Amino acid sequence: MHRAIQRGRRRFGGQGGFTLFEVIMVLLILGVISYFATTRIFSDDGITRVSEVDLIKNHLRYAQSRAMNSDMNWGIRFAEPNQYWLFKGDDPVAGKQRLPNVEDLVARIPGAPTDGSMTLSTVTVPNLVVKFDAFGSPGDTTIVIATPAENITVTRNTGFIP
């Protein structure tokens, strides 16, 4: 049996383990992969901004569809940099309505502070009113809502929101 073990050692040529170069290369590759993985996991600012813009677009489309299905004007009023609400009729303050899946009458932009201070994730034009008529149009003016992620455009006469 002792001879069989010695024959096995000879067959492998006495090599045992990896070279220093191979170990360094594996560690370098693992380091690069872990850097990109942790950057993706812990950096969600871009995703948060895009989801906030999508939420605002969906609320605008909701107001637009309510206006097209009724004989009243419906719209969204951006009161402060971090909040907005749905309204019906011609008075944005007196006609406040509840948005779907929003507990309060006023929708707060997720991640925005409640003290009214500006952050990167807020609408930069406060006191903006977007009102839709029975055709789903904002009228003769194209409305641009500026956000840090992208500008939301409501096209005149058609009400198209890309």
Strand, helix or coil for residue 76: strand
Domain that holds residue 57: 45-154
Question: Does a structural domain hold residue 109?
Answer: yes
pLDDT in tens, 12-62: 566 678 899 999 999 999 999 999 888 777 766 667 778 888 888 999 999
Which range in 43-57, 60-74, 81-95, 121-135 is most confidently predicted, on average pLDDT?
A: 60-74
User: What whole-number distance in Å separates Cα of residue 79 and Cα of residue 62?
Assistant: 18
Question: Does a structural domain hold residue 57?
Answer: yes
Determine contact, residues 80/129, Cβ cutoff 8 Å: no
Determine contact, residues 65/58, Cβ cutoff 8 Å: no
Question: Does a structural domain hold residue 64?
Answer: yes
Determine contact, residues 135/68, Cβ cutoff 8 Å: yes
Question: Does a structural domain hold residue 150?
Answer: yes
